[in-house]
């Protein structure tokens, strides 16, 4: 018996196993719009932007574009992308945002000065998806807001122009500017039981959207770069790796089968 | 729109019961800035308001306050429907509050004259009395300015949060300090640059037409006119309601057409009106008066729109009447010293 086909089949089989194991790890295993949420035990490692806890939380690139709001400059935002990571402990939900902005704007002391800022928007009702532009009267949003003056606020909104500061906020923030990038951590208790506040059951995914303002471009209000709705993967969800392993296995088997059939076909044609 | 008994239309903003208004007679202004100081000591004395002059007096022709405010946009387009974008001016262009050598002169025995510690190169009223024209026919006049409490205010429209609003009872334009988030769209949206950003509070602020005074909220419980009007030494301001048919404002504006709006082309429909300035006629080289107006009509038209011609013609006719010993209701209203006629603030409930 010719040992060549057997050897080839063996090599292909090994290749298949290697491909199945390695390739998914190399390409993004994450569904579009997912912001993974890491489980971290020690909350102190998440409080600061460079805390160790963030090593366990993979970040997702979130594309931004002009909000198109009906204010001057509503179509002229300057920040294109923000990297978003998220982590949770038993008590708090953390979101870490990082984006490139060559100008560090931390003053609003002159009439023409505006501070850099970032905001995270979540639905008040974690099961509902509100209109992306600040929600609506019957489907409101919570906004976690931070700006370069080191002001952080928890806001409630029911449509554009309606943001209202929520009092007794448990929102905490930490920010640094390094090598042309802002890094900001915002966190809040998961289950902040009070009116008009999102209560994260941590049993289901929750929609999230992000906005970034560049102060030196005089961005403020609706003049901002905004994302589409993404979601914080807080729920069990479709388990990425096993699901993808099956897909890759099927694809791999297909490739091996096709290759073997082709080889056999060539052999027969040659009359071997 | 409300129609008065004599058939004149008085346009009020939608949902407004009455409209406060002011007429300023520019022929009486001596540029003393008492109004400016009256306002400042009442409302803008510190707390991030140092650079603010809700009332200012500027020399015209001149750059004004803030510098070149007339070139900074804002207001409405020709149809009065779309806002035209405006610009923000830096604090330098308003004029910073200079530090003076009070300490050295008053307490440390310095012989230096009292003066700013730094070399000032711009400030409010910096080009005072420069004016325009050439000797012997140079000319200038003073222009006191407050918020116009417009009928069609572009600052109100500019705010995406509805933090600015026109008060229902009297049309005073106010900034709700709880709603304001310091976006400054109102500052750039007002073509008269009469909304100011308070960098300490991070909110915008403006002239409130001294509403506590006109509501009688002072210590005596008396209804008083705005401070800028009451404290004016030559008493050049008349205060009342545009829709008070018996009042001088309605008569001067709507009946006689002698009080005109500043920059009507901004289409915000201001409710501060001006009696345009007369100046002595031009002089010849030899010092003789000649038949030529000193302040070019074209310049006055630039400021007050085409209605200024009719206003000036009417005033000239009315003055001639008085000179002939005849009666003139217009001149009577403009020269009265009876405060009950100057300030009619208790005509509506």
Cβ distance of B90 and A111 shorter than 8 Å: yes
* Three-point CA angle B6, B9, B10, nearest 5°: 115
Chain B contact for A222 (CB, 8 A cutoff): yes
Of the candidates A235, A194, A212, A215, the residue with the CA atom closest to the CA atom of residue A121:
A212
Chain A contact for B85 (CB, 8 A cutoff): yes
Closest CA in chain B for residue A109: B199
Of the candidates B166, B144, B146, B142, the residue with the CA atom closest to the CA atom of residue B155:
B166
Min CA distance, A111 vs chain B (Å)? Answer: 5
- The rounded radius of gyration (Å) of the Cα atoms in chain B is 21
Average pLDDT over residues A183-203: 90
A111: nearest CB among B85, B89, B181: B89
Report the C-alpha gap between B196 and B308 in whole angstroms: 29
| Least confident among A77-91, A189-203, B59-73 | A189-203
Closest CA in chain A for residue B92: A110
CA distances from B251 to A8, A118, B165, B243, B322 (A): 105, 54, 27, 10, 18
- A51 contacts A2 by C-beta, under 8 angstroms: no
B184: nearest CB among A111, A160, A222: A111
B160: nearest CB among A108, A149, A160: A160
Which DSSP symbol is given to B252? Answer: I
Min CA distance, A119 vs chain B (Å)? Answer: 15
B88: nearest CB among A109, A111, A149: A111
Q: Look-up: residue for tokens 């009876």?
A: B338
The DSSP code sequence of B49-98 is: -TT--SSEEEEESS-TTTTTGGGSB-SB-TTSSSBPPB----HHHH----
Cβ distance of B89 and A71 shorter than 8 Å: no
Cβ distance of A71 and B161 shorter than 8 Å: no
Of the candidates B252, B273, B272, B348, the residue with the CA atom closest to the CA atom of residue B16:
B348
The dihedrals phi and psi of B175, each to the nearest 5 degrees, come to -105, 120
Closest CA in chain B for residue A218: B183
**Size (chain B), residues:** 349
Q: Which chain B residues are within 8 Å of A162, Cβ to Cβ?
A: 161
pTM as predicted: 0.88
Portion 120-149 of A in contact with B at CB < 8 A: 149
Of the candidates A141, A176, A167, the residue with the CA atom closest to the CA atom of residue A54:
A176
Count the Cβ atoms, other than its own, within 10 Å of residue A66.
18
Q: Is the pLDDT of residue B3 over 70?
A: no
Q: Write down the pLDDT at residue A250.
A: 87
Count the Cβ atoms, other than its own, within 10 Å of residue B182.
18
What ipTM does the predicted assembly reach? 0.91
Q: Write down the pLDDT at residue A3.
A: 66
Dig out the tokens for B92 from the structure: 């330098």
pLDDT tens digits along A155-179:
999 999 999 999 989 999 999 999 9
Min CA distance, A115 vs chain B (Å)? Answer: 11
Of the candidates A156, A155, A154, the residue with the CA atom closest to the CA atom of residue A137:
A156
CA dihedral sign of residues A133, A138, A139, A142: positive
| Average pLDDT score, chain B | 94
pLDDT tens digits along B305-332:
999 999 999 999 999 999 999 999 999 9
- B48 contacts B199 by C-beta, under 8 angstroms: yes
H or E element in which residue B248 lies: helix B248-250
Q: Write down the pLDDT at residue B10.
A: 86
State the SS3 of chain A.
CCCHHHHHHHHHHHHHHHHHHHHHHHCCCCCCCEEEEEECCCHHHCCCCCCHHHHHCCCEEEECEECCCCCCCCCCCCCCEEEEEEEECCCEEEEEEEEECCCCCCCCCCCCCCCCEEEEEEECCCCCCCCCCCCECCECEEEEEEECCCEEEEEEECCCCCCEECCCCCCEEEEEEECCEEEEEEEEECECCCCCCCECCCCCCEEEEEEEECHHHCCCCCCCEECCCEEEECCCCCCHHHHHHHHHHHHHHHHHHHHHHHHHHHHHHHCC
Grade residue A22 by pLDDT with cuts at 50, 70 and 90.
low
Chain A contact for B185 (CB, 8 A cutoff): yes
Q: Write down the pLDDT at residue B68.
A: 97
Q: Which chain B residues are within 8 Å of A112, Cβ to Cβ?
A: 88-90
CA distances from B186 to B24, B71, B83, B86 (A): 25, 16, 11, 9
């Amino acid at each position: 018996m010719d040992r060549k086909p057997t050897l080839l089949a063996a090599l292909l089989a090994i290749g298949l196993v290697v491909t199945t194991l390695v390739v998914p790890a190399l390409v993004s295993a994450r569904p579009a719009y997912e912001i993974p949420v890491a489980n971290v035990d020690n909350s102190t490692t998440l409080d600061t932007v460079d805390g160790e806890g963030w090593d366990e939380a993979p970040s997702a690139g979130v594309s931004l574009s002009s909000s198109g709001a009906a204010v001057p400059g509503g179509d002229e935002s300057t920040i294109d992308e923000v990297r978003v990571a998220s982590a949770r402990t038993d008590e708090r939900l953390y979101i870490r945002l990082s984006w490139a902005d060559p100008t560090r704007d931390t003053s609003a002391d002159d009439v023409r000065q505006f501070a850099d800022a970032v905001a995270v928007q979540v639905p008040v009702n974690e099961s509902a998806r509100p209109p992306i532009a600040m929600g609506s009267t019957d489907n409101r949003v919570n906004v976690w807001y931070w700006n370069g003056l080191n002001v952080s606020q928890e806001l409630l909104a029911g449509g554009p122009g309606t943001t209202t500061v929520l009092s007794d906020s448990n929102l905490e923030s930490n920010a640094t500017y390094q090598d042309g990038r802002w890094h900001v951590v915002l966190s809040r208790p998961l289950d902040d039981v009070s009116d008009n506040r999102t209560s994260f059951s941590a049993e289901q995914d929750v929609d999230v959207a992000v906005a970034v303002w560049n102060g030196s471009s005089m961005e403020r209000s609706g003049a901002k770069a905004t994302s589409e709705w993404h979601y914080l993967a807080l729920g069990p969800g479709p388990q990425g790796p096993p699901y993808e392993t099956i897909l890759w296995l099927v694809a791999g088997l297909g490739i091996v089968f096709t290759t073997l059939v082709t080889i056999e076909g060539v052999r027969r044609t040659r009359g071997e | 729109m409300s129609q008065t008994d004599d058939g004149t239309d008085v346009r009020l903003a939608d949902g407004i019961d009455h409209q406060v208004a002011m007429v300023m007679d520019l022929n009486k202004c001596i540029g003393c800035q008492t109004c400016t100081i009256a306002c400042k000591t009442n409302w803008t004395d510190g707390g991030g308001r140092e650079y603010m002059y809700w009332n200012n007096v500027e020399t015209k022709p001149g750059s004004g306050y803030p510098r070149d405010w007339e070139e900074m946009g804002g207001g409405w387009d020709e149809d009065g429907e779309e806002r035209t974008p405006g610009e923000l001016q830096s604090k330098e262009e308003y004029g910073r509050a200079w530090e003076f050598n009070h300490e050295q002169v008053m307490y440390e025995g310095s012989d230096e004259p009292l003066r700013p510690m730094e070399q000032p190169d711009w400030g409010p009223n910096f080009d005072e009395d420069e004016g325009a024209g050439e000797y012997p026919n140079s000319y200038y006049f003073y222009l006191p300015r407050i918020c116009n409490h417009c009928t069609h205010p572009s600052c109100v429209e500019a705010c995406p949060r509805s933090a600015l609003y026109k008060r229902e009872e009297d049309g005073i334009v106010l900034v709700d300090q709880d709603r304001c988030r310091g976006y400054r769209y109102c500052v750039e949206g007002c073509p008269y640059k009469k909304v100011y950003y308070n960098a300490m509070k991070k909110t915008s602020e403006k002239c409130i037409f001294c509403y506590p005074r006109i509501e009688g909220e002072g210590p005596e419980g008396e209804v008083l006119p705005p401070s800028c009007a009451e404290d004016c030494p030559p008493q050049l301001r008349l205060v009342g309601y545009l829709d008070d048919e018996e009042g001088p404002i309605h008569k001067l504006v709507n009946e006689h057409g002698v009080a005109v709006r500043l920059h009507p082309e901004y289409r915000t429909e201001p409710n501060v009106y001006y009696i345009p300035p007369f100046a002595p006629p031009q002089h010849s080289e030899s010092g003789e008066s000649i038949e030529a107006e000193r302040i070019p009509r074209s310049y006055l038209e630039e400021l007050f729109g085409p209605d200024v011609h009719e206003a000036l013609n009417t005033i000239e006719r009315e003055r001639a009447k008085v000179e002939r010993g005849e009666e003139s209701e217009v001149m009577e209203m403009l020269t009265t010293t009876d405060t009950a006629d100057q300030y009619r603030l208790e005509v509506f409930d």
